[in-house]
Structure 1
């Protein structure tokens, strides 16, 4: 029996068969206490213990006086030892509420001396009085917030968009299931023989369900779509050549047919059941070398197994954080008897050996980059891609692809690319498939296996994947520790039902146009607009954003995410261990109230020590100040960018609250109060600025209502405001509910609601504001630097370099407060935003992007107006 209290023990990895067993759980030591102290310290067999007790009884019968004095001394010794045991236990025991019952049970086992018994009698009246006072306080004061003890069932589909899917496939008792570690496979001795137990992973692979994976490449070139695309391209090339030679046209047709064949050969997958099983066995040996566990929820696996029996294709849509994502997906599905999917992969992974290996594991390769102008004319490539995917769907293959296109470089979900999903949607609309089940997937790592993206965020070019780099990366990974990996499969929902909901009653355009945020996808990737038909573009956009939002909401929060988030946003200047423990406890309560699952359990002190050890001294350091240990984040370049990556998993949770806090400080607070309508309008304006950073709500929700609900939640839970006119607020709530059913409700009926600031909540508001402060700084500096292209143009790399130089200059003189503002991703997103606002123009040729100001904006006044529009959220009209 393991009594290890080390923070890396299994207790904080929540993979135990019993969820209530964690570090310092009394149930682990109770057996020793019942067995008596001789057995506790020496642990002989039970017969020896009985003989010892009989010998002690014989001495007591022969020498009663001598033994009474000895017993008295032994009692005192037992009391001292027991008290010391409890002191040690209480020092390491968890603070969670569900431990209290176990502690009470253990305290009943404590041996009390006669003096202690008398002391209990004397204090009985005092205890009764304290109990009565406590009951009085419960009656008079508001009840405390009750945190649910059960783990929330994450990833259930949207009730508003897919009500039928929400009621299907789900086991109502799934919340009671303990999490499952995929790497933990221990065959029972009663069921398996010696050889099966010895070679358990081979036996496990042998027992897996065998699936047939038909090869579909041979059906593509004969398809009418491909033939038509070949002829259309040849006709266009023939017209452009100004030639009248019929033989030349025939040659063009032949060349395009050969090109279609090459495209298909490079694209196709060779998914093999044998290779899947062999790789699964190999992963069972290699994964424990660098990860402690791969955790899934059994309820999620059960939903997938039921969905696999519907004979509908499953479309897996995971967030993309690491190259390990698609390998893990196939590994988990295979070991739970769910058909492995074909995986859309970028052609940058088609490298020697590893490219062929991934192809055999289900990868089919598509172009990562394509010229946006030429891409629209590449009818052959588009036809081959569409046809190959359609044939795979008809053959019964499941499909997996990443809506984000590439891996996130910031830790936040990226804006979706719509191309591959549009193929699935058109396959359904054209009747090629009856329906499909979409499965959003969230993957989170305690420590990112791919290393970090600091070089890229500082403006250096991405290193291309090569065979040598792959070998070096694998060797480094196998000799490192990356903690736990958590995979959450959301509830599968019907594509047919979702499309029907979006198309009925104009649901997607019901909210006022001024309150809707529309963003454009990438135009430089085949995941982007070049394969999306204009007819279904809005529909595909709404589905994509819904999936990304669902994935972000169902992602479990890891220990490294929690510690990095608190240190960067709340304790940037350092914090004591006790204060950080209290902050983690508070964070756990907040996450439980919004039903976000945690990737850790146990005492917060152990969780913190474990996370600090995993992140390493390069990101978090410990110092001694006045005989007290201080924990500080390394908040300087380049380390802070990597720490920000882990923090950003929680930034999405607090993004809307941070928008409200930031919008609040952009208003005039000299009166100590603010009108609700002004606050909502300012929050919507800030959401518009950050539309390429976050999805603040689902497409089926109104952003305005989400902001008002967020304000109400902050008022109730955090008491940031005191109402000046409560009646008006009640009327406004009634109006908001009525508007959801009747669009004709009177806009001017309610009086203005005024919020009075609660000074006690100022620290919390500043903490919330800091969550988005680095992004606002990056956008404001990008707008300021546009002055450098007045009357001229710059290619993207030069413009981004100038902006980063300006950021470093402002960081040195104190104009910028956050070093993580100096990052490429928010700069590029800001440039996209300014394009959408018709301030910038971008001309793309080959792989170069040339930026210049629009004629109407090519002056200092327009740039200054743009800068002030953003900078007001950076500066504050009130002192903090």
Structure 2
């Protein structure tokens, strides 16, 4: 049994161990970073099942030390699994700094896959695990989100954190754990192999990056135009993405996240409390309609007032509340805290939000073609590929976008968000497929709803714009420098108002996590150098200038 939880808090380690003990299951061996192997504390963690691994390895490794280390780690994991002992590690590699799932690392899961492929163990179960916290006990990583380097763990820091946790004036709230359906690794590998070989080719196709496929991160295992073998690295990568996607989608939504989502995506100013409570019920119903659930909410039974009251107790530091109105406090820390909570909701609406942003970015009344909406949405998903997992690796993102547009909420001839300029009975043909032709947003109410969904992802697009425009500006240092220095300076200058922008940035868009992902995608697409991104940004980079222009259109810059 291999437990693969998402990582939100240091409590994550304890919760699975406690649950296994409570239900009489074997306690897992837990892979832990060597940063927690502290004097006087490491032995205690080992006694409770932890084994320490290096967080970083030498990319050059001239003496072969890291090869030896990898071999020993691989053998250790094989031995643990061969003794029928469960193991636990975090595919994301570190705690999420901004409340959403991270792209998985391939190192540890590759040891498990190879152990099965090489016959050292017959099989194992992969168990996705996720958590819903009203509030993580460590609090929000405000300093790190401003680009300030993380303070290395110490024994003193651990005890200080424990005492500060116990000294909190109020409890952190509820924690809900979610165990996914165990996935037999051999069945998963066999399913992929069978699907790849079903085209009757002599060699199976390869999961690889294809320029026009538009599957999740362009990873398409079922694509039938290539005739090359499947490499193990890509197979392992696909398994990691599949597990993390399943874990994020089975996660319940906290009432704190629902309230934070509405405060940032719909009501950034003052709103009457009664209106806000009705909107809470509306959003909870939307989450349930998308296959999710909200902790403590029963459809058509729970009152929004109860959810709001509960959530405000956890958000009193960043929300102003009276009997008549509600509004977020105007500070960067307040908006970052709300955004951390809000981001757990986005996975339920990620594709819908991207489609909505492509629509509302055009002036009201503009005619749109279905093909144009689909292509723009796919392009935006591509630029946000390191922010969100839009679908499983084996899914076609293009088909999913078409499916969303074909939902009754969008295509209903009377109440749908969009209406056809040609057909009176909607824009679906008799078979339910999308008709070609022009569309408009139906009315002001539909546009308001689309604006809400668009605002879920708008801060991340703004972050991409901020980093893209900063590296080509005179404000960016001319001498080669690291990503962290660029991010830190951009955070500081953006908050100080020292950067000239064609729009007022949302405060939550100014954070190191989004800037780091933006730099990563710019490097991945070859727009910036990997080592020193600022050194070539100003040298007539026409592709980067084109991106900035397109982002200005999406962000409705006049």
Given that residues 394 and 432 in structure 1 are in contact (C-alpha distance below 8 angstroms), is that contact kept between their aligned partners in structure 2? yes
Tell me the TM-score normalised to structure 2 length.
0.88
Residue 804 (1) aligns with residue 491 (2): yes
Given that residues 811 and 819 in structure 1 are in contact (C-alpha distance below 8 angstroms), is that contact kept between their aligned partners in structure 2? no
1:660 corresponds to = 355
Flag the 1:473–1:705 CA change in 2: closer, same or farther, 3 A: same
Residue 408 (1) aligns with residue 60 (2): no
1:858 corresponds to = 539
CA-CA distance at 1:671 after TM superposition: 5.5
Paired residue secondary structure (2:472):
helix
CA-CA distance at 1:722 after TM superposition: 1.1
- Of the three residues 452, 460, 485, the one matched with 1:775 is 460
Flag the 1:321–1:811 CA change in 2: closer, same or farther, 3 A: farther
- Of the three residues 496, 503, 506, the one matched with 2:186 is 496
Flag the 1:375–1:841 CA change in 2: closer, same or farther, 3 A: farther
2:417 corresponds to = 720
Flag the 1:598–1:790 CA change in 2: closer, same or farther, 3 A: closer
- Of the three residues 567, 577, 580, the one matched with 2:263 is 567
CA distance in 2 between counterparts of 1:363 and 1:540 reads 24
Paired residue secondary structure (1:695):
coil
Paired residue secondary structure (2:530):
strand
1:645 corresponds to = 340
Alignment of 1:480-519 (within 5 A): 480=168, 481-506=171-196, 514-516=212-214
CA-CA distance at 1:812 after TM superposition: 8.6
Alignment of 1:449-468 (within 5 A): 449-468=137-156
Given that residues 723 and 756 in structure 1 are in contact (C-alpha distance below 8 angstroms), is that contact kept between their aligned partners in structure 2? yes
- Of the three residues 468, 471, 474, the one matched with 1:786 is 471
Flag the 1:504–1:330 CA change in 2: closer, same or farther, 3 A: same
CA distance in 2 between counterparts of 1:375 and 1:801 reads 33
Given that residues 564 and 644 in structure 1 are in contact (C-alpha distance below 8 angstroms), is that contact kept between their aligned partners in structure 2? yes
Answer 1 or 2: which has greater helix percent. Answer: 1
Residue 634 (1) aligns with residue 329 (2): yes
CA distance in 1 between counterparts of 2:63 and 2:129 reads 31
Flag the 1:774–1:569 CA change in 2: closer, same or farther, 3 A: same
Alignment of 1:326-337 (within 5 A): 326-337=13-24
Given that residues 517 and 691 in structure 1 are in contact (C-alpha distance below 8 angstroms), is that contact kept between their aligned partners in structure 2? no
Paired residue secondary structure (2:189):
helix
Given that residues 33 and 55 in structure 2 are in contact (C-alpha distance below 8 angstroms), is that contact kept between their aligned partners in structure 1? yes
Given that residues 8 and 131 in structure 2 are in contact (C-alpha distance below 8 angstroms), is that contact kept between their aligned partners in structure 1? yes
CA distance in 2 between counterparts of 1:806 and 1:483 reads 36
- Of the three residues 309, 313, 323, the one matched with 1:609 is 309
1:752 corresponds to = 436
Alignment of 1:169-180 (within 5 A): none
CA distance in 2 between counterparts of 1:710 and 1:811 reads 38
Q: Decide which moves more: 768-777 or 425-434.
A: 768-777
CA distance in 2 between counterparts of 1:579 and 1:810 reads 37
Flag the 1:563–1:341 CA change in 2: closer, same or farther, 3 A: same
CA distance in 2 between counterparts of 1:842 and 1:684 reads 25
Paired residue secondary structure (1:872):
helix
Paired residue secondary structure (2:487):
helix
Paired residue secondary structure (2:293):
coil
CA-CA distance at 1:510 after TM superposition: 11
Flag the 1:811–1:656 CA change in 2: closer, same or farther, 3 A: farther
Residue 836 (1) aligns with residue 536 (2): no
Which structure 1 residue ranges, 4+ long, deviate > 6 Å from structure 2?
Answer: 810-814
Unaligned runs of 5+ in 2: 197-204, 220-229
Alignment of 1:437-476 (within 5 A): 437-476=125-164
- How many equivalent residue pairs? 525
Residue 477 (1) aligns with residue 165 (2): yes
1:350 corresponds to = 37
- Residues 314-361 of structure 1 show CA distances to partners (whole Å, capped at 9, x for unaligned) of 111110000000111100111101111111110001112322211111
- Residues 19-78 of structure 1 show CA distances to partners (whole Å, capped at 9, x for unaligned) of xxxxxxxxxxxxxxxxxxxxxxxxxxxxxxxxxxxxxxxxxxxxxxxxxxxxxxxxxxxx
- Residues 847-870 of structure 1 show CA distances to partners (whole Å, capped at 9, x for unaligned) of xxx435559x83254432231133
Tell me the TM-score normalised to structure 1 length.
0.57
Given that residues 460 and 514 in structure 2 are in contact (C-alpha distance below 8 angstroms), is that contact kept between their aligned partners in structure 1? yes
- Residues 175-230 of structure 1 show CA distances to partners (whole Å, capped at 9, x for unaligned) of xxxxxxxxxxxxxxxxxxxxxxxxxxxxxxxxxxxxxxxxxxxxxxxxxxxxxxxx
- Of the three residues 656, 671, 680, the one matched with 2:374 is 680
1:394 corresponds to = 82
Residue 818 (1) aligns with residue 506 (2): yes
Flag the 1:790–1:639 CA change in 2: closer, same or farther, 3 A: closer
Flag the 1:372–1:639 CA change in 2: closer, same or farther, 3 A: farther
1:217 corresponds to = none
Given that residues 467 and 490 in structure 2 are in contact (C-alpha distance below 8 angstroms), is that contact kept between their aligned partners in structure 1? yes
Q: Decide which moves more: 405-414 or 788-797.
A: 788-797
Residue 621 (1) aligns with residue 316 (2): no
Paired residue secondary structure (1:448):
coil
CA distance in 1 between counterparts of 2:468 and 2:45 reads 43
1:38 corresponds to = none
CA-CA distance at 1:473 after TM superposition: 0.9
Find the structure with the greater CA-based Rg.
1
- Of the three residues 334, 338, 354, the one matched with 2:25 is 338
Flag the 1:508–1:339 CA change in 2: closer, same or farther, 3 A: farther
CA distance in 2 between counterparts of 1:753 and 1:345 reads 55
CA-CA distance at 1:637 after TM superposition: 1.0
CA distance in 1 between counterparts of 2:14 and 2:507 reads 35
2:282 corresponds to = 586
CA distance in 2 between counterparts of 1:520 and 1:674 reads 26
CA-CA distance at 1:538 after TM superposition: 0.8
Flag the 1:376–1:829 CA change in 2: closer, same or farther, 3 A: farther
Flag the 1:499–1:813 CA change in 2: closer, same or farther, 3 A: closer
CA distance in 2 between counterparts of 1:647 and 1:812 reads 28
CA distance in 1 between counterparts of 2:460 and 2:437 reads 30
- Residues 486-530 of structure 1 show CA distances to partners (whole Å, capped at 9, x for unaligned) of 001011121111111112232885997513357599xxxxxxxxx
- Residues 279-321 of structure 1 show CA distances to partners (whole Å, capped at 9, x for unaligned) of xxxxxxxxxxxxxxxxxxxxxxxxxxxxxxxxxxx11111000
Paired residue secondary structure (1:345):
strand
Paired residue secondary structure (1:638):
helix
Unaligned runs of 5+ in 1: 1-313, 522-533, 737-750, 844-849
Flag the 1:336–1:701 CA change in 2: closer, same or farther, 3 A: same
Flag the 1:428–1:454 CA change in 2: closer, same or farther, 3 A: same
Given that residues 420 and 426 in structure 2 are in contact (C-alpha distance below 8 angstroms), is that contact kept between their aligned partners in structure 1? no
